Amino acid sequence: MRDVAVIGIGCTPFGEHWGASFRNLFIQAGALALEDAGLSGEQIDALYVGNMSAGRFIEQEHIGALIADYSGMATRHIPATRVEAACASGGLSFRQAVIAVASGMEDVVVAAGVEKMTDVGTGTSVDTLAGAADREWEGLVGATFPGLYAMIATDYMHRYPLTREQLAMVAVKNHFNGARNPIAQFRQEITVETVLRSPLVADPLRLFDCSPITDGAAAVVVAPLDRAREFTDRFVKVRASAQASDTISLHDRADISRLDATVAAGRWALSDAGLSHRDIDLVEVHDCFTIAEICAIEDLGFCRKGEAGRLTEEGVTALDGDLPVNTSGGLKACGHPVGATGIKQICEVVQQLRGEAGKRQVPGAEIGMTHNVGGTGATVAVHILEVV
Ligand code: COA
């Protein structure tokens, strides 16, 4: 297998884009990534697009072909493939591109993610997202994603020492970081009071415990590491790529407060890379709800179960802490266009490793991790990236 590098990144602003279509969003992100890599479209050999549900959000299927066509690549007949794994579609799109290049099958590959969620109302969005859970056993009895993660939060808070205030501090931290990220959907700092006074969505989760509904796209270009310098000197090595799965229903898990697919993918990524937790300088985790960040930090093995709330309160996960978590603002503040999130996480870590993250730069960052979750943990992708 060949070593792989990320040679270009591009991301649209995340938010409500009434004036841009699904395909426009992709083209914007793709063009930024190609420009960043110093490439033209003719140099791309293959395309992977992470997308969860264009069929329900914009009534469009056949996304690989659509994107190849509107990117001007259809007449060159390059392979263009949609990758779907709910909110982990982006992470898996990146992994497919890495596998294609590592195997020697392709050389220069775009991995992207795109979702246009705001053209439908909140009800349809929430119902569409519920399709990432088990429709027969969870969706049909009314379980939504805020509802499922509220069950995780309730169970967790019953068993471990996590206060409501500590949960709110996850959102406060991520809004602080988002306020320093030009692409973030929410760029205002908030306080614990803001979270605690916001409307209840699914007890104990309030509005500011939730990621929002978002439009956006992100794209990266990957190439063989030994050819990266032909294109740019601002490349980053892909040190590990891991993917794991679990039961789709929460009620089929032995422990609903532990995401075993996160545990497995995190372990595999670190062992494939030959690294330990102490080597990781920053991590982008899948904080679709504040409780999800707490679980992710623990399930990835950065601390023991029950400790992440205290670490958040002590500032360990803050921008200037020992383990900065979600420097982009996370899904909470940056926004969560589901198919694009996993690629945006890669873009953020690459920016940090290139020292280009501006006001949210982690000084001297050399190794970063991303953690992208589909559903309540039925699919997890973990990647480790490193400065060469
Ligand atoms: N955090 C902070 N503010 C938010 C927000 C969020 N997550 N979602 C919406 N808002 C704000 C809006 O900006 C708006 O503010 P304004 O009145 O100042 O303009 C206000 O709250 C109302 O927005 P609206 O779009 O009407 O919210 P809503 O009530 O329709 O939706 C949620 C709120 C929480 C139900 C929705 O964002 C949601 O379902 N989030 C979870 C998404 C999800 O499950 N993703 C998959 C995870 S695996």
- Residue 366 pairs with which residues in a beta bridge? none
pTM of the model: 0.98
* Cα 340 to ligand 1 centroid, rounded to whole Å: 18
Strands 80-83 and 205-206: unpaired
* Cα 26 to ligand 1 centroid, rounded to whole Å: 23
pLDDT grade, residue 291 (50/70/90)?
very high
- Out of 127, 188, 198, 211, mutate this one to test ligand 1's pocket (max ligand atoms within 8 Å of CB): namely 211
- Residue pair 218/344 in contact by the 8 Å Cβ criterion: yes
371 is catalytic: no
pLDDT in tens, 187-222: 999 999 999 999 999 999 999 999 999 999 999 999
Ligand 1 neighbour 210 (Cβ under 6 A): yes
* Cα 84 to ligand 1 centroid, rounded to whole Å: 24
Whole-angstrom CA distances from 348 to 33, 58, 97, 365, 371 are 13, 27, 18, 12, 12
pLDDT in tens, 73-99: 999 999 999 999 999 999 999 999 999
Q: Among the options 11, 87, 295, 334, which is catalytic?
A: 87
Within 8 A by CB and 6+ apart from 123, the residues are none
Domain segments of the chain: what residues?
A: 4-121+214-236, 122-211+238-387
Q: Among the options 286, 336, 371, 383, which is catalytic?
A: 336
Ligand 1 atom closest to Cα of residue 145 = 44
pLDDT in tens, 40-76: 999 999 999 999 999 999 999 999 999 999 999 999 9
pLDDT at 355: 98
pLDDT in tens, 253-266: 999 999 999 999 99
158 is catalytic: no
**Topology given in CATH for the domain delimited by 4-121+214-236:** Peroxisomal Thiolase; Chain A, domain 1 (3.40.47)
pLDDT at 342: 99
| Average of per-residue pLDDT across 225-235 | 97
pLDDT grade, residue 327 (50/70/90)?
very high
Indicate the average pLDDT of the chain: 98
- Residue pair 321/283 in contact by the 8 Å Cβ criterion: no
* Cα 187 to ligand 1 centroid, rounded to whole Å: 14
pLDDT in tens, 111-166: 999 999 999 999 999 999 999 999 999 999 999 999 999 999 999 999 999 999 99
pLDDT at 265: 99
CATH superfamily, region 122-211+238-387: Thiolase/Chalcone synthase (3.40.47.10)
Tokens representing 232 are: 């740019």
